[in-house]
């Protein structure tokens, strides 16, 4: 018998699996889901598509998911004046799997991945799981990037993968195209070079005038733009993430992907959902308006709020954020205790849910000394 059981990799011992607490409360504003479910017509189409797929489930699915790549390319082409071809598209079970595959192909022992904190807490986990060294720079106090410092860090550390969420989670901050271009150039300037992954999980929620990095694809062949159907598309349960990049990058991922990683059921569900894109995305405009209202209301309470291009807002700062989080939970509102110390993140829900959130937060702030004195205005 070994002394330690199970005989895990040493760096994994004692670690907890990632994930927000899943609590059954009336108002769930903690994981940036779209609060609006699919319409009965969309549900019927998904069910019929799954029924069709079910009749051939004795066969393996299309390993190259050509029909789905074609549909995703058509969807992405709306944001890309140059157009996106199916060969430029790759997909997996959520964009988390897409990014893990990128690290499997482009990271690994002796290589590094880099991002700028505060940022998505899964990134260091992809690095750990692929035995890639994790490097981290920092954002400014307004959560933007100091471009010169960011470029200098990339040139110094020479990462194989740069992960840039835009809009960023948990801050909501979008990156200007100049930043993406500058870092693509920096990552192409050393041997053997790095890829730059712009994680656009929340991009459909961006404010007017904020462009997508898809427009930059013709200029930078080391650029990868990752997207998901989990947020704006209201399909978190369907598990479908995808990317657009140079076809040689998609071909490289095909080497590390497991055979038939996208089930016939997943492909059928995603294709049906894409046919209902206008409807599923129809509520995005409402959510953006609700977001802007929420940000303005929080500021009206004397709180700091990060500018947000996403479907959530990061606000604070509180002396004891956990007490505020718990106070909201006691009133049936679940948000997320995430980000720099003192800050909290609320996902944007329906108008009724946001009204519950405002009511609960007003009560919590009235009953506790939860402010930092210097933030009281
Ligand atoms: C939610 C989220 C994703 C999407 O994850 P899926 O695996 O596609 O559900 C990706 N990146 C960030 C930063 C996110 O917050």
Q: What is the pLDDT of residue 376?
A: 45
Does 347 contact ligand 1 (Cβ within 6 A)? no
Distance 242 CA to ligand 1 centre (A): 11
Q: What is the pLDDT of residue 377?
A: 42
Q: What is the pLDDT of residue 368?
A: 64
The residue whose CA has the least distance to atom 3 of ligand 1 is 201
Distance 96 CA to ligand 1 centre (A): 6
pTM of the model: 0.95
Q: Is domain 40-279 given the CATH code 3.40.50.300 in the classification?
A: no
Substitution candidate for ligand 1 out of 122, 123, 308 with most atoms within 8 A of CB: 122
> Where do the domains of the chain lie?
19-36+283-371, 40-279
Q: How far apart, in whole angstroms, are the C-alpha atoms of residue 25 and residue 360?
A: 13
pLDDT < 70: residue spans in the chain: 1-2, 368-377
Does 222 contact ligand 1 (Cβ within 6 A)? no
Q: Which fold has domain 19-36+283-371?
A: 3.90.1150
68-103 confidence digits (pLDDT tens): 999 999 999 999 999 999 999 999 999 999 999 999
Are 118 and 139 spatial neighbours (Cβ–Cβ below 8 Å)?
A: yes
Q: How far apart, in whole angstroms, are the C-alpha atoms of residue 337 and residue 344?
A: 5
Does 95 contact ligand 1 (Cβ within 6 A)? yes
Q: What is the pLDDT of residue 22?
A: 84
Structure tokens at 41: 């017509």
Q: Which atom of ligand 1 is nearest to the CA of 168?
A: 13
Block residue for tokens 């997909």? 91
Pairing type for strands 112-117 and 333-334 reads: unpaired
Q: What is the pLDDT of residue 114?
A: 98
Q: What is the pLDDT of residue 158?
A: 98
Substitution candidate for ligand 1 out of 91, 116, 199, 312 with most atoms within 8 A of CB: 199
Are 277 and 75 spatial neighbours (Cβ–Cβ below 8 Å)?
A: yes
Question: What φ, ψ does residue 315 adopt, rounded to 5°?
Answer: -140, 160
199-256 confidence digits (pLDDT tens): 999 999 999 989 999 999 999 999 999 999 999 999 999 999 999 999 999 999 999 9
Q: How far apart, in whole angstroms, are the C-alpha atoms of residue 42 and residue 25?
A: 27
The residue whose CA has the least distance to atom 1 of ligand 1 is 201
Does 267 contact ligand 1 (Cβ within 6 A)? no
Q: How far apart, in whole angstroms, are the C-alpha atoms of residue 196 and residue 177?
A: 13
Distance 311 CA to ligand 1 centre (A): 12
Q: What's the 3-state SS for the chain?
A: CCCCCCCCCHHHCCCCCCCCCCCCCCEECCCCCCCCCCCHHHHHHHHHHHHHHHCCCCCCCCCCCHHHHHHHHHHHHHHCCCCCCHHHEEEECCHHHHHHHHHHHHCCCCCEEEEEECCCCCHHHHHHHCCCEEEEEECCCCCCCCHHHHHHHHHHHCCCEEEEECCCCCCCCCCCHHHHHHHHHHHCCCCCCCEEEEECCCHHHCCCCCCCHHHHCCCCCCEEEEEECCCCCCCHHHCCEEEECCHHHHHHHHHHCCCCCCCHHHHHHHHHHHHCHHHHCCCHHHHHHHHHHHHHHHHHCCCEECCCCCCEEEEECECCHHHHHHHHHHCCEECECCCCCCCEEEECCCHHHHHHHHHHHHHHHHHCCCECHHHCC
Q: What is the pLDDT of residue 1?
A: 57
Q: How far apart, in whole angstroms, are the C-alpha atoms of residue 83 and residue 227?
A: 16
Q: What is the pLDDT of residue 220?
A: 98
Q: What is the pLDDT of residue 86?
A: 98
């Amino acid at each position: 018998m070994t002394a330690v059981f199970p005989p895990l990799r040493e760096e994994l011992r004692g670690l907890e699996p990632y994930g927000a607490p899943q609590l059954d409360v009336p108002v769930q504003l903690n994981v940036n889901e779209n609060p609006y479910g699919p319409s009965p017509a969309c549900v019927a189409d998904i069910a019929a598509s799954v029924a069709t797929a079910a009749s051939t489930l004795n066969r393996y699915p299309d390993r190259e998911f050509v029909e789905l790549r074609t549909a995703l390319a058509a969807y992405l082409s709306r944001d890309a004046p140059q157009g996106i071809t199916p060969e430029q598209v790759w997909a997996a079970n959520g964009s988390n799997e897409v990014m893990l595959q990128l690290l499997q192909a482009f990271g690994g022992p002796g290589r590094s991945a880099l991002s700028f904190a505060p940022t998505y807490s899964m990134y260091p986990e992809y690095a750990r799981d692929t035995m890639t060294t994790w490097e981290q720079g920092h954002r400014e106090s307004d959560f933007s990037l100091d471009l010169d410092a960011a470029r200098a860090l990339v040139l110094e550390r020479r990462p194989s993968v740069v992960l840039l969420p835009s809009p960023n989670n948990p801050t909501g901050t979008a990156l200007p195209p100049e930043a993406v271009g500058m870092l693509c150039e920096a990552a192409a300037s050393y041997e053997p070079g790095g890829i730059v992954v712009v994680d656009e999980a929340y991009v459909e929620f961006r404010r007017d005038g904020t462009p997508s990095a898809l427009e930059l694809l013709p200029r930078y062949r080391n650029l990868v733009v990752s997207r998901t159907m989990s947020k704006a598309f209201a399909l978190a349960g369907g598990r479908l993430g995808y990317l657009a990049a140079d076809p040689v990058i998609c071909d490289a991922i095909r080497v590390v992907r497991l055979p038939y990683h996208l089930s016939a059921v997943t492909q059928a569900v995603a294709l049906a959902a894409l046919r209902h894109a206008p409807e599923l995305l129809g509520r995005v405009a409402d959510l953006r308006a609700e977001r802007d209202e929420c940000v303005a209301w929080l500021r009206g309470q004397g709180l700091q709020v990060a500018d947000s291009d996403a479907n959530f807002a990061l606000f604070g700062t509180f002396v004891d954020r956990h007490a505020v989080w718990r106070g909201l939970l006691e009133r049936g509102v679940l948000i997320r205790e995430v980000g720099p110390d003192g800050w909290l993140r609320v996902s944007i829900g329906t108008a009724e849910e946001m009204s519950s959130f405002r009511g609960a937060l007003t009560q919590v702030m009235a009953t506790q000394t939860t402010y930092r004195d210097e933030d009281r205005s």
